[in-house]
Amino acid sequence: MDLTALEKEVAEVPLDTPEAQAAFRKKFLRKGGVLDELFAQLRQLPPEERKAFGHRLNALRKEAENRLAALAEAHREALNQTPIWGEDATFPHLSYEVGGRHPLSLVEQRIVELFARLGYQLAEGPEIEDDWHNFGALNFEPDHPARDMQDTFFIDPQRGLLLRTHTSTVQVRVMEKTQPPIRILAPGRVYRHETVSARAHVYFHQIEGLCVAVGISAADLKATLEYFLEGFFGEDIPIRWRASYFPFTEMSAEVDIGCRLCGGAGCPVCKYTGWVEVLGCGMVDPAVLSACHIDPERYTGFAFGLGVERLAQLLYNTPDLRLFSQNDLRFLQSFRGYGDTF
């Protein structure tokens, strides 16, 4: 794949009108643009070519971002230097500040980009769900504790309407309408009746992944998630797997990483263990496949779920999850420029 023409276009295409700038941004920087498509094609290259091609793609994205940033800065300076009310020197000076992206948005973008390289496509679903999609189709027993009022926000208990407790509901909706192969990523906000603390909140952002096809094994699950964690935190990140239980997976596991806030020495975030749980996963239970009209004798799959706030907390060494939802401008301003550090 030759990037010469795209590199020339990014460097030289005229951007002297708002329309041209919008088209440039849509083509090179928005989700689904030409660069996202090329990143998704990386896996098709021979292993010895991927690193060099990936570096050129990242440089191309950075060049596109720099061109737009330079135009925005020039526009801001022009506004600050132009009198708004004739030549009246007493008129108050107007200052325009360039905004920044929210840290959770930055982290979600990074997660989506890493899985896009493996061919995962985005899917979404409603935040107000019914009992079937949130519990029944996912193999939760009728008396499971998660169905209790103290664990779930019910909107209409008699009709089974509730605020979804996980984005696994999106997996169910996709499997109901789509036959394998399936490879999706489902980001979204979820709600749970929990005590707000430095480690938990009543709402947070979750990303679920699902892969269903012929011959999918636990080895595929392990390789996928370790690729993601090493790509997100770095290849030297300590990773620990633990057996667990989820109603919708069999086998089930939880994955921990070495606490980045204390370096493994022990702190309140890792409960003084040196390890922090970052995701749950497992092989999709055959009963879930059957409930979604997929033949479990022919297909197997794996699923995983991770919390965006938890990953942001560890990536940015933030001791309190509540900071991500309090809209404190002093805190949010500290993340300006972080989008270029990945």
Q: What was the pLDDT predicted at 341?
A: 44
Residue keyed to tokens 């498509």:
37
CA distances from 135 to 11, 169, 172, 206, 246 (A): 51, 8, 10, 17, 12
- Does the pLDDT value for residue 321 go beyond 60? yes
* pLDDT beyond 60 at 339: no
Closest by CA to 213, choosing from 136, 138, 85, 118, is 118
Q: Find out whether the peptide bond into 175 is cis, omega within 30 degrees of 0.
A: no
Specify the DSSP element, H or E, that contains 314: helix 308-315
Q: In what order do the strands lie in the sheet with 154-156?
A: 128-130, 161-163, 154-156
Which residue has better confidence, 11 or 83? 11
Residue 85 has pLDDT above 60, yes or no: no
148 versus 246: the higher-pLDDT residue is: 246
Residue 235 carries which side chain, given as an amino acid letter?
A: E
Tell me the pTM. 0.68
In whole angstroms, give the CA distance from residue 47 to residue 234: 19
Indicate if the pLDDT at residue 342 is higher than 50: no
Between CA 300 and CA 286 the distance in angstroms is 8
Model confidence at 340: pLDDT above 50: no
User: Which contiguous run of DSSP H or E holds residue 311?
Assistant: helix 308-315
CATH 3.30.70.870 fits 103-340, yes or no: no
pLDDT digits (tens, 9 = 90+) for 201-226: 888 899 999 999 999 999 999 999 99
Q: How confident is the model over 256-313, as pLDDT tens digits? A: 999 988 888 888 888 889 999 999 999 999 999 999 999 999 999 999 999 999 999 8
Could you give the 3-state DSSP secondary structure of residue 240? Answer: strand
